[in-house]
Amino acid sequence: MTSIPTPVDARTRRAGRRRRSAVRWLTAVSFQLPALVLFGLLVLLPILFALYTSVFRWGGFGRPSDYVGTDNFVRLFQDPVFLGDLWRCLVLVVLSLAVQLPFALAMAVLLNQRLRGRAVYRMLFFAPYVLSEVITGVLFSMIFAPGDGLADALLGAVGLEGLGGGWFSDRSTVLATLFLVMVWKYFGFHMMLYLAALQSVPAELTEAALIDGAGPWQRFRRITLPLLGPTLRISVFLSVIGSIQLFDLVWVTTAGGPVHASETMAVTMFQYGFKRYQVGYASAISVVMFAISLVFAVAYQRFVLRRDLAGATTTMRGGGGR
């Protein structure tokens, strides 16, 4: 015979379920709490503080008291230096997407072939990314030094000394030279991303296409490139965000010069905040940088990464789902 549960038994089971649920909840909170505290102190609190100080005329000492409202932001978008920063950021983003990433993809495809010593080439191409931005900046400051730098010496050796001389000191060449340094520094990172994705492409697909008579370009365009889509989209996202926040490399090589020709938003923010002690205005720059990055990140996730994220969080339905 089966016993009929009494109200006392039902209450006991409900109490047990509540205790187990409370234990699971407390366990989850105890594991997440340290990370949440660090996130709040190191991320949320600085953001809120920057928002607060951006509406004051403040030199960084004492308590902000000279409230100016949106004057810092109005001044910001009337400042030709900051408007130039936005334009240079756009130029670097376009160059990164049009030159750096295709170059990294081409090198990844090449190093995915059966080449003698390809492991050495991979290490050499990835090594610049391991170096700090400060070391890279100092290195290329010496390479592109006017007159006695390695770049001018090599051009002089092949009879092209007339092409050198300016590099970081000429307004017309500084941004292009800086971009060359960026490519040298960061393309290896994107190359390794693409290389890892290429090695995950099923060989059966390319072999079947080869049997069907597809050429190398057709196999790359119809099979390899679509399968690289998620990696390419992440690479584009990282490249754009990195261009928006670019600081270390610029500060070490040019400090934003000559005459603001290579200045970025982060360099302008540093100049006003730590050189001119206009911390309220620098906070307004940081808020605009954060807003640009946030809007781009949300829009990119909503319209570009949506399919990748949906594929990662949903399950197959119909005959394929089990």
Task: Tell me how far apart the alpha carbons of residues 240 and 177 are, in angstroms, rounded to a whole number.
Answer: 19
The predicted-structure confidence for 159-170, as pLDDT tens digits, reads as follows 777 667 778 888
Residue indicated by tokens 């906070």: 283
What confidence score (pLDDT) does residue 5 get? 55
Task: Tell me how far apart the alpha carbons of residues 269 and 135 are, in angstroms, rounded to a whole number.
Answer: 22
Mean pLDDT of 110-122: 88
Q: Which two tokens stand for residue 296?
A: 């781009």
- The dihedral over CA atoms of 290, 291, 292, 293, expressed in degrees to the nearest 10, equals 50
More confident residue, 266 or 224: 266
What confidence score (pLDDT) does residue 318 get? 41
For residue 258, cis peptide bond before it (omega within 30 degrees of 0) = yes
Cβ(239)–Cβ(190) under 8 Å?
yes
Q: For residue 319, is pLDDT > 50? A: no
C-alpha distances in Å from residue 8, one per residue of 3, 81, 180, 210, 240:
13, 75, 76, 72, 62
Q: For residue 129, is pLDDT > 50? A: yes
The predicted-structure confidence for 225-283, as pLDDT tens digits, reads as follows 988 999 999 999 999 999 999 999 999 999 998 989 999 999 999 999 999 999 999 99
Fold of 79-133+174-276: MetI-like fold (1.10.3720)
Share of the chain above pLDDT 70, in %: 92
Give me the helices (H) in 144-278, please: 150-157, 174-198, 203-211, 216-219, 225-227, 229-244, 248-253, 265-270
The predicted-structure confidence for 148-159, as pLDDT tens digits, reads as follows 788 888 888 887
More confident residue, 137 or 321: 137
Say which residues have a Cβ less than 8 Å from residue 238's Cβ, sequence separation at least 6: 190
Rounded CA Rg of the chain: 27
The model carries a pTM of 0.84
Ordered by start, the domain boundaries in the chain are: 79-133+174-276
Give me the helices (H) in the chain, please: 7-39, 45-53, 71-76, 80-95, 101-111, 118-130, 133-143, 150-157, 174-198, 203-211, 216-219, 225-227, 229-244, 248-253, 265-270, 279-303, 306-313
What confidence score (pLDDT) does residue 192 get? 94
Mean pLDDT of 189-210: 88
